[in-house]
Structure 1
C-alpha cells in the first residue's frame, strides 16, 4: 500500500515536471495576494503581513501552482479545532471497539469492579455498625448498673463512628463512579452508532 502511494506521488510529480517543461516554465514563481485595500497584487514575495490572508503561487505565465488558504481566526478556528478533536476521539473509539457489543462488554467489566467494591464497603459498614451497637450496649449496661463508661470505651465508639463516615464517603464516591461509567459508555455507544450509520 505504501509503495503504491509512493509510486502514485512520484507519477504525479513527474507529470507536473513534464507539464511545466512543455509550457515553457522556467521555475520562477510569482505570488498573488490581496492587500489591505482589497486590491489583488502580483509580486515576487508575499509581505509577512499578508501571509495570514492567504495567497496563490503562480508561474510567470499565470498558471496557478498552489493556493494557500487564509489562516482561520476566532469562531472558525474554534470550530476547526473542535472538528479535529472529534475526529481524533472518533478514531480512538473505532480503534478501541469493533462493535457496540464490545462497548457493552467493556462497560460490564468496569461496572463489575465498582460493584464488587460497593459490596465490600457495604459489608464494612454493616460490620462497623454491629461493633458500635455492641459497644453502646455494653456502655448502657455499665450505666444501668451505676457505673461510669470509661474514656477508652467512648473513644472506641467515637472512632467507629468516624470509620463509618469514611466508609460511607467512599461508598458515595464509588456510586458516583458507577454513574459516570454508565454515562461514558452511553455516550460511546451513541457515537459509535452515529459513526457506523455514516
Structure 2
C-alpha cells in the first residue's frame, strides 16, 4: 500500500504540475483536483498541494464530474512526513540562530567578555546601593539619638526628626529592594549567556 501511494505521488508530481492528462483518444484534457484546504474549506485547483496528496483528494474533469477518489496516505506515513518537516524547520531555525550568534560574537570568549561586562555593571550598582545603605543607617542613627535626647529631656520629638527617621528608613528599604533586583538580574544574565557560550563552543569545535 505504501509503495502504491509513493508511486502515485511521483506520478502526480509530474501530471499535476499543469493539471493535464491524456484521454483515450490521445487528446490532452484539463484535470482538476478537489481537496480540503488547511482552513477546512473545499478547494478546487489545477494543481495539488503536498498536504492534499497526503490527506486525500478527488480528480475531476472539466465538467466537475468525479473521475477518481484518492484515499489519504496511511497515518504512519503522514506522521513520518510531519516529523521530517518539523526536523527540517528546526534545523533551519537553528541555522538562523547560529548565524545571529556569529554576527554578535566572534567566539565563546567574546560572549564571556560581554557577560562579564554586564555582571560587573550590575555589581557596581549593588556596591553603590550598599554604600548608600551604610550612609543612610548612620544618618538614621543620628536622628534616633536626637529623638532619644529630646525624650530624656522631657521635650517633644521634633517633627523634622521623626520625618528624617522615617525617610532614611524608607530609603534603606528601597536600596535593599534594588540590591535584590540587581542580584536577580545577575542570575538572569548568567542563565541567558550559558547556552549562548556553550553553543559558540560547539560551533568552534566543529
Structure 2 unmatched runs, 5+: 1-13, 18-29, 37-47, 55-77
Give the distance between the partners of 2:137 and 2:193, measured in 1 at CA: 35
Aligned to 2:135: 127
Give the distance between the partners of 2:107 and 2:87, measured in 1 at CA: 29
Give the direction of change, closer, same or farther, for the CA distance of 1:167–1:82 in structure 2 (3 Å limit): farther
Give the alignment partner of residue 126 of structure 2, picking from 118, 124, 131: 118
TM-score for both structures, normalised by structure 1: 0.62
Give the direction of change, closer, same or farther, for the CA distance of 1:145–1:77 in structure 2 (3 Å limit): farther
Aligned to 2:16: 31
Give the distance between the partners of 1:173 and 1:118, measured in 2 at CA: 9
Give the distance between the partners of 1:73 and 1:153, measured in 2 at CA: 76
The worse-fitting range, judged by mean Cα deviation, of 79-88 and 105-114 is 79-88
Displacement of 1:102: 0.8
Give the direction of change, closer, same or farther, for the CA distance of 1:45–1:194 in structure 2 (3 Å limit): farther
In the TM superposition, 1:140-155 aligns within 5 A as: 140-155=148-163
Kept in 1, the 8 Å contact 2:108–2:197? The answer is yes
Aligned to 1:44: 31
TM-score for both structures, normalised by structure 2: 0.60
Displacement of 1:74: 7.7
